[in-house]
Amino acid sequence: MLAKHLITETIMPLRTSDTGITALNWMEDFKISHLPIVNNKEFLGVISETDIYNLNKPDEPLGNHSLSLTRPYILYNQHFYDSIKLMSEQSLTLVPVIDEKNIYLGSITLQTLVQKIADMSSIDQPGGIIVIQINNIDYSLSEIARIVESNDAKVLSSHITSFKDSTKIEVTIKVNKIDTSSIIQTFNRYDYIVTASFSEESNYDDLINDRYNLLMNYLNL
């Protein structure tokens, strides 16, 4: 999915004629700590809540201040994974999206990204979770899927966790089968190390949904 598909149009950009007080009010309304600043439609940069608190006269237009704006952004045709990386690296609550001419198109918020990741992880789908540990060189998603499918199940989602200074990786898969015992037995026969499994829908999926709801509630504070 491209960045342009996740743009939140409700986030209005600031203009240099807006005051710091206005910016703080908008940040509170939108539950974010950053806002883009534009000149007409041209993207100038991003101002943070901390930047505004550091202004000597926040009731004056932003254009009256000497602003050292950061310019984090992604292009509209980049994959949305790039926005996750940028948001993580710079601790942002939104990422501006622009075109090749530096025209501001909108922003992707942290809340939108969390919702998208939840959709991609099939959180709302019933099933079981299996966590396996293997050597990085032995990783084959097609083989893992074949093992799952040989037990009349399908892989709904998967992700990999790497470990620093280690040749091993952890692969977490969600399958569309609540009882994962037969799948685990097959993994064991193929010498995979199963480090964890969550077979009860009432336990794991409720736990994941609870944590997801807690995160969404936190983002809405």
Q: Using the Cα atoms of residue 146, residue 170, residue 197 and residue 190 in order, give the sign of their dihedral.
A: positive
For residue 129, give the amino acid letter. Answer: I
pLDDT of residue 121: 64
pLDDT of residue 92: 93
Domains and CATH numbers, the chain: 3-117 (3.10.580.10), 123-201 (3.30.70.260)
d(CA 209, CA 22): 36
pLDDT of residue 210: 61
pLDDT of residue 116: 79
Report phi then psi at 133, rounded to 5. Answer: -120, 130
Average pLDDT over residues 92-106: 95
pLDDT of residue 207: 57
Average pLDDT over residues 114-133: 80
Its pTM stands at 0.68
How would you classify residue 191: left for phi > 0, otherwise alpha for psi between -120 and 50, otherwise beta? left
Judged against a pLDDT cut of 70, whether residue 206 lies above it is answered with no
Spacing of C-alpha 218 from chain mean position: 15
**Beta pairing partners, 37:** 14, 45
